[in-house]
């Protein structure tokens, strides 16, 4: 890692896709800290990173970059082309970018340092878990490329809690390099970063502190600006009324025109220096609040959660559940190490729900309340019809007209000009917001959520938390987002050695994931 001072930033920078503004008049300069870049979905964070690293060119303004600056970067999406290549060759690309082709001994040293067995180097990269693919790319960018600055876009995506803890240790202890990190994981940002940049439609707001403290200060600034603007509006209205009176009186006394002109000049000065206020885009993520008549929403008894075994027709048991009841209105967090079967359990419950059947069959392992209306959020969102238009997807909900759908889409932040576009053009965050909108229109009262915050921006996460806390819906969810889990859950179940164990809270489990 180079010891020289890294200089990277922007001055009055703007970027447009065609006539559409992505960001405008953005100015900041990174220092030697670990810096968070935070913004709502669509604010232009990933585009800004591409401009910083040279993948895209600014339409206006200036990129500030020290001569010969080396940037190590890991994108949000891992390239599919890496899957068939051996791990050693994939990491060797980092050596090539650093001008050290063939120094594969450095990869062996890196593996020893981070505790990965050498046999992994000969495996196809795609056989590793998504979490370890990302961790190895980050380690290669930080160590093998010897960067002056490390740029990471959503580094916790697809990581379980143990891997998130590993990444936090690497970034705060092992990799001593300035960083710019885009993430929606609030606890991760608080643990890792020391400085925060908020990218919004009104520019970049810089704070020399961690995310949660910076967010409070930004909200205070917004509130102060809003109060000042309100007072200015009141003063302008008072002066306009005074000017109107002087105009009438000046008909009989022309000398009063001077007072009228003075008042109008004062109005103009206030208008020129008027306090600018920030108004966030109105795109709330709302949940339906249906009622379940009976006290119990779901009963499980003698349920075996299985996956296909090594031979045809065979199965392997992940979890054995003797008995479990989920009450109406309970929000249950499902905890467990990676591979314990959390997502498989949620998928099993979702597959067992059939609204055309009576679910109080006394012999069934999964019994839903007959009044239950269940929706399931799959973290992969693979079932989304990417070629279908956004509007047609929403209109499929019973009782929703095209006019209703357009109104609902507008409330969720989808402009009218876009509703005819195919779902496939949406970002991951926009797709998640669309799925939640469709789920709301189905009027559910039981939510089964597998990593619901993976692609939601921080505002979307807070909306989801708020809606779950205020509603009476039942919810069973899996999340690696520690802040979300602590905030939302009213009950905690941990998978230990294939059994469900009731625990008091999630903190002991979180702390054990090292």
466-476 pLDDT, tens digit per residue, is: 888 888 889 99
Tokens of 377: 């959020």
Contact partners, residue 465, CB within 8 Å, separation at least 6: 484, 487, 488
- Among 56, 140, 48, 40, CA closest to 98: 140
**CA pair distance 385, 390, nearest whole angstrom:** 9
pLDDT score, position 1: 44
Contact partners, residue 23, CB within 8 Å, separation at least 6: 13, 14, 15, 43, 44, 47, 48, 199
Say if CB 170 and CB 179 are below 8 A apart: no
Mean pLDDT of the chain: 86
Give residues with Cβ within 8 angstroms of 458, minimum separation 6.
Answer: 38, 40, 184, 186
pLDDT computed for residue 457 by the predictor: 86
pTM over cut 0.75: no
Counting Cα atoms < 13 Å in the Cβ hemisphere of 67 gives 0
CB 381 within 8 A of CB 375: no
Q: What is the pLDDT of residues 244-277, one digit of tens each?
A: 887 888 778 887 788 888 888 888 888 887 776 6
Per-residue pLDDT at 293: 57
The rounded distance, in Å, linking the Cα atoms of 307 and 317 is 7
Q: Does the 296-512 domain belong in CATH 3.40.1390.30?
A: no
Inter-residue long-range contacts of 427-432, CB under 8 Å, 24+ positions, other chains counted: 427/41, 427/42, 427/455, 428/381, 428/454, 428/455, 429/41, 429/42, 429/455, 429/456, 429/457, 429/460, 430/41, 430/42, 431/381, 431/384, 431/455, 432/381, 432/456, 432/460
pLDDT for res 2: 45
Which CATH code is given to the segment(s) 8-209?
3.40.50.300
What is the Cα Rg of the chain in Å?
Answer: 27
Neighbouring CB atoms inside 10 A of 268's CB total: 10
Among the listed residues 40, 195, 32, 57, the one whose alpha carbon sits nearest the alpha carbon of residue 48? 57
pLDDT beneath 50, residues of the chain:
1-3
């Amino acid at each position: 890692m180079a010891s020289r001072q890294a200089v990277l930033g922007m001055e009055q920078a703007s970027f447009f896709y065609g006539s559409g503004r992505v960001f405008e008049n953005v100015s900041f300069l990174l220092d030697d800290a670990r810096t968070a870049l935070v913004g709502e979905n669509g604010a232009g964070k990933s585009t800004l990173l591409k401009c910083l690293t040279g993948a895209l060119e600014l339409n206006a303004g200036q990129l500030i970059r020290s001569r010969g600056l080396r940037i190590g970067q890991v994108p949000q999406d891992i390239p599919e082309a890496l899957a068939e290549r051996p791990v050693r060759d994939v990491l060797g690309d980092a050596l090539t970018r650093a001008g050290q082709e063939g120094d594969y001994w450095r990869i062996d040293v890196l593996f020893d340092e981070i505790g990965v067995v050498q046999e992994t180097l000969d495996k196809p990269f795609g056989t590793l878990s998504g979490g370890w693919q990302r961790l190895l790319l980050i380690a290669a960018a930080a160590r093998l490329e010897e960067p002056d600055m490390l740029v990471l876009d959503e580094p916790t995506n697809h990581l379980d809690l143990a891997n998130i803890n590993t990444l936090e240790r690497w970034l705060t202890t092992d990799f001593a390099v300035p960083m710019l990190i885009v993430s929606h994981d609030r606890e991760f940002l608080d643990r890792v970063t020391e400085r925060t940049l908020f990218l919004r439609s009104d520019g970049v707001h810089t704070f020399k502190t961690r995310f949660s403290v910076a967010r409070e200060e930004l909200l205070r600034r917004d509130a102060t600006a809003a109060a000042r603007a309100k007072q200015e509006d009141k003063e302008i209205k008072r002066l306009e009324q005074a000017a109107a009176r002087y105009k009438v009186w000046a008909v009989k006394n022309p000398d009063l025109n001077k007072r009228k002109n003075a008042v109008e000049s004062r109005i103009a000065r206030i208008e020129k220096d008027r306090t600018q206020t920030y108004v966030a885009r109105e795109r709330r993520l709302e949940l339906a609040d249906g009622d379940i008549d009976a006290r119990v929403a779901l009963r499980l008894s003698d349920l075996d959660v299985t996956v296909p075994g090594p031979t045809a027709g065979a199965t392997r048991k992940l979890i054995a559940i003797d008995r479990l009841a989920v009450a109406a209105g309970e929000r249950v967090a499902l905890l467990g190490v990676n591979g314990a079967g959390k997502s498989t359990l949620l998928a099993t419950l979702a597959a067992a729900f059939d609204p055309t059947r009576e679910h109080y069959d006394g012999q069934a392992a999964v019994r839903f309340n007959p009044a239950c209306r269940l929706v399931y959020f799959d973290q992969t969102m693979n079932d989304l019809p990417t070629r279908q238009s956004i509007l047609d997807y929403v209109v499929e909900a019973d009782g929703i007209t095209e006019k209703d759908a357009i109104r609902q889409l507008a409330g969720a932040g989808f402009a009218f000009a876009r509703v005819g576009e195919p779902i496939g053009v949406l970002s991951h965050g926009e797709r998640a917001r669309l799925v939640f909108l469709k789920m709301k229109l189905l009027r559910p009262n039981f939510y089964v959520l597998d990593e619901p915050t993976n692609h939601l921006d921080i505002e979307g996460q807070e909306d989801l938390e708020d809606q779950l806390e205020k509603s009476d819906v039942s919810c069973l969810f899996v999340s690696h987002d520690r802040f979300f889990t602590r905030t939302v859950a009213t009950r905690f179940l941990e998978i230990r050695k294939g059994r469900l164990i009731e625990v008091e809270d999630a903190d002991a489990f979180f702390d054990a994931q090292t």
